[in-house]
Structure 1
Amino acid sequence: MKLIECPRDAMQGLPDFIPTATKTAYLNALLHVGFDTLDFGSFVSPKAIPQLRDTAEVLAGLDLSTTQTKLLAIVANQRGAETAAQHPEISYLGFPLSVSETFQRRNTNQTTSKALADVAAMHELCERTGKTLVTYLSMGFGNPYGDAWSPEIVTDFTQQLAALGVRIVALSDTVGASTAATIAPLFSALIPAFPAIEFGAHLHTTPTSWREKVSAAYEAGCRRFDGAIGGFGGCPMAADELTGNMATENLIAYLSEIGEPLGLDLDALARARGAASGIFAFH
């Protein structure tokens, strides 16, 4: 079981810049919890994501001496990937590949075919530099743009990624469109069809829909879940303002209920949640 904590996703849309020292302190608190991976920052244009323009400075302030948690940075193009790959502390580069042409253009300002070419180049870069590419299939459960979507389309994208040698694919519920009825069949079909790929779930939920989504993914065989403390963040294009990231607390509660060992330091989690409440103003 792998839990990926995503403070980057939670912070990136905040309108007021979080001081670098505050970001660094929060991430250092998260590094003590015992998550498998910390999605901590991104190497993208500061014009696109001004909140994370200080990712390199934040990285320099992280204390990795007593943690097993690995670092993941999001990139939007080859240039960002080359920058991220220069940092030995980073284990994973994450790239959002959309099954929706419209969203790919909006998100990374390129066509899906160009994005797939970038994936190939990024995977080769990761192989050269000792990193691992994590490809997020955004709009993986449907989209609001009217672009074609079906399980077969998601499978076709996965087949192309498998052919490139990509080993981690996270299905991403970009606008909260997923339901148990769409989650379960996708994971049930993809996981046995592509045994060389580790599949993850990056789910966006409302406060009342989270359990059915986690349960559907878990029961279909998914063992990699993204979350964010407090459920903060998510896609600004979601029509429902209550739709946010999967709350890490809910993930932990569900997995603990069914007896899945997580190996987390719950005292460190409580301290990190206290720090989060000051940044995100939740209770």
Structure 2
Amino acid sequence: MSTATLPNSTEGETRTVHIREVGPRDGFQNEPETIPTADKIRLIDALGRAGLKRIEVASFVRPDVIPQLSDGVAVLQGIDVPDDVARMVLVPNSKGLDNALAHRDLFEEVALFVSASETHNKRNINRTVQETMDDVRAMGGRILAEDLTYCAVIATSFGCPFEGAVPMDRVLGLAEQFAESGATEIGFGDTTGMCNPSYAGRFFAAAVERLPGVEITAHFHNTRGQGLANAYAALEAGCRSFESSFGELGGCPVPAGSTGNIATEDLVSMFHEMGVDTGLDLGSLIEAARDAQSTLGRKLTSHSIIAGPVIWSPSV
């Protein structure tokens, strides 16, 4: 992997980022057909072998709402990832947390979530934002009492397909509430790909300043082709944690037209070409994405699936 000096870095400095793979949850939930459990397990194991240390594996949501994830416990029980891989589950409410904690030994991280937009939150989990945040305060304490990592996710952080612009101060205010309830990581989701690089830079600079001691995570979708540019802008603003999905799988089941997350292999390729350290094996990620493409029986939109890794290094 290249360690070329970045344009704005000190000579010899190499930046390091952390990437959580969300395809097994955020990606698989948006597929029109349910993926066989054995295929999910095979693909997640491949992601673990590629060096990913954080994988979002399952969601404890109602199976009648998202049937694609109804086998979450079986997947968690079946995967065989390295011991240093943190397995995350997504929980929508206290009932979901009850169900998750019945299988406490199968994961290390729990993510709670809310939408910054009232309309999206209502359509997504049938609650107001205030109702969700009231529940968050109780759930946060329970998660920490179980010695689990408590993460938070704020959807529609960069715009809502129903309400339009979402004020930055509203989003960061929700983030501060999560932090007060004990969250050590907060992810900001571009749920339908409405962000742009200029705003991403301003937003993450403000987030880093307002949330000291909290891991700030960027979660971009590539709906309008700006996902990687947004990730670059977030990096330059001080963000060092990202979420992505192999094969560019994903989207949001609520609004129409929401396409996949930025592809993990495309994000890693960009970072490696810039000399940013991810600790990941790009070739193995590409093979996992190609396996997913074959399993789903359709062409995925990741660029690296087609092009493969860059063979030229800017440091040569």
The offset of 1:206, in angstroms, is: 3.6
Report the counterpart of residue 217 of structure 1 in structure 2. 234
Q: Is the 8 A contact 1:100 1:148 kept in 2?
A: no
Report the counterpart of residue 285 of structure 2 in structure 1. 269
| In 2: Cα distance, 1:181 partner to 1:265 partner | 30
Look up the SS of the partner of 1:222 in the other structure.
coil
Counterpart among 162, 177, 186 of residue 160 in structure 1 = 177
Q: Mark the CA change 1:38 to 1:62 in structure 2 (over 3 Å): closer, same or farther.
A: same
Q: Does 1:41 align with 2:58?
A: yes
Between 82-91 and 218-227, the greater mean CA deviation after superposition:
82-91
Give the alignment's Cα RMSD to 1 decimal.
1.8
Identity of aligned residues (%): 33
Look up the SS of the partner of 2:30 in the other structure.
coil
**Which segments of 5 or more consecutive residues in structure 2 lack a partner in the other structure?**
1-16, 301-316
Q: Is the 8 A contact 2:54 2:87 kept in 1?
A: yes
Between 227-236 and 168-177, the greater mean CA deviation after superposition:
227-236
Report the counterpart of residue 78 of structure 1 in structure 2. 94
Larger radius of gyration: 2
Q: Is the 8 A contact 2:155 2:188 kept in 1?
A: yes
- 1:16-95 equivalences under 5 Å are 16-64=33-81, 66-85=82-101, 86-95=103-112
Look up the SS of the partner of 1:93 in the other structure.
strand
Q: Is the 8 A contact 1:176 1:238 kept in 2?
A: no
- 1:113-124 equivalences under 5 Å are 113-124=130-141
Q: Is the 8 A contact 1:34 1:68 kept in 2?
A: no
Structure in which a larger fraction of residues adopt strand: 1
Q: Does 1:190 align with 2:207?
A: yes
TM-score, normalization by structure 2: 0.84
Q: Mark the CA change 1:92 to 1:207 in structure 2 (over 3 Å): closer, same or farther.
A: same
Q: Does 1:246 align with 2:262?
A: yes
TM-score, normalization by structure 1: 0.93
Note the alpha carbon deviations across 1:220-250, whole angstroms, 9 max, x for none.
Answer: 1111111111112112455546x32111122
Aligned length: 281
